[in-house]
Structure 1
């Protein structure tokens, strides 16, 4: 945890591009120090440019969230560190989001579920120890992870993976019901990114500052909330 004289710190998992990079840039803009992760073997990323532009305020670590040995190694490197916030942004979708669940291959089902549900929770289970008692633990979910709001179908594998993430995070919160830390599952809105596509109604520039506003506003609220980019509760 930061002292009064030092900036607050964010550990942002999945920060090389898109929403992750934009979140890192927004937190730096607001006076935070950021440690962001990128996958090993990744070419130079936007996060590297951000680190060059803000020396001393952005650190880069290597992590593929689907590789348990890399996660264990990162945890060892973080020994003795304390963060004000841990946020897991990394995620994926299947090659053809229009496929029904009956059409999805077993290979793609396993890949998306491991990337979007199992691996983020492994990160949280492993790295939560480095978040201070007044800190926040969060993960990037989606409004499409809401079972109650699913009235159209479509993007079924992605929906299912985010619903699974939500359920696992509920279990984590239940096991840590006595924790003073805030926990947030974030639905950032449909944003024009590589994964969101060109038809999405929101830009990164519009919604990422809103996402950051919500996260910062919830830091002193213990327990888990499932929220959208305006701070509204999303039905489970």
Structure 2
């Protein structure tokens, strides 16, 4: 099977990110992926190149981009997310908890993308972020999981600031809802496995190549409201 292209997955230590790496590798993509503490045992797959990265550290992001050098990627997926305080109550939350949540879920992903954007291939390149339907005022009218949801809403807004630069490179910007997935965050009651979510994400990344614009879709290709 011929090589399909080059993909960069930022935040692939476990769950959805790891499943995406495995699926891309199985389809003969050249995969570059990042981990925070150690390469997952299941991450040692063909055509995968792993780098340590803590996205919340700007110097580490700049050093990572320098390591990648002149490489160009057809697809870049920024995958990050923590749940924040389990109680999801502002009055019970510490300032440092909230700061870490918004840094991890909103600020660091977009700041990382700003640094990595020059590595996105001109024309048909896709820059994508994993977000959530919970981030939407329209898709989440009851404000479920409000603190987590607010951090993902912040991600969506900050992501929009990249639209002009992505358009200038004739690329496509995607905000992706991966579904409710059986992960450490999603829990065992979730209807999707990480592998099912990853398959859908990969399909959407390929489907939207060359279409331009900024789109909010789920793993199954349904358009979501902001």
How many angstroms apart in 1 are the aligned matches of 2:132 and 2:203?
17
Match of 2:21 in 1: 24
How many angstroms apart in 1 are the aligned matches of 2:71 and 2:164?
25
Alignment of 1:61-210 (within 5 A): 61-96=51-86, 98-134=87-123, 135-174=125-164, 176-210=166-200
Alignment of 1:24-43 (within 5 A): 24-39=21-36, 42-43=37-38
How far apart are residue 176 of structure 1 and its match?
A: 4.5
Contact map agreement 1:179 1:222 (CA 8 A) in 2: no
Runs of 4+ deviating beyond 6 Å: none
TM-superposition CA deviations, 1:152-207 (whole Å, max 9, x none) = 22311110011001001112114544331011110011111001112212222322
Contact map agreement 2:4 2:30 (CA 8 A) in 1: yes
Q: Which runs of 5+ in 2 are unaligned?
A: none
Contact map agreement 2:175 2:214 (CA 8 A) in 1: yes
Match of 2:9 in 1: 12
Aligned residues: 224
Contact map agreement 2:23 2:198 (CA 8 A) in 1: yes
Alignment of 1:50-65 (within 5 A): 50-51=43-44, 53-54=45-46, 57-65=47-55
How many angstroms apart in 2 are the aligned matches of 1:115 and 1:166?
13
TM-score, normalised by the number of residues in structure 1? 0.90
How many angstroms apart in 1 are the aligned matches of 2:11 and 2:162?
21
Contact map agreement 1:86 1:136 (CA 8 A) in 2: yes
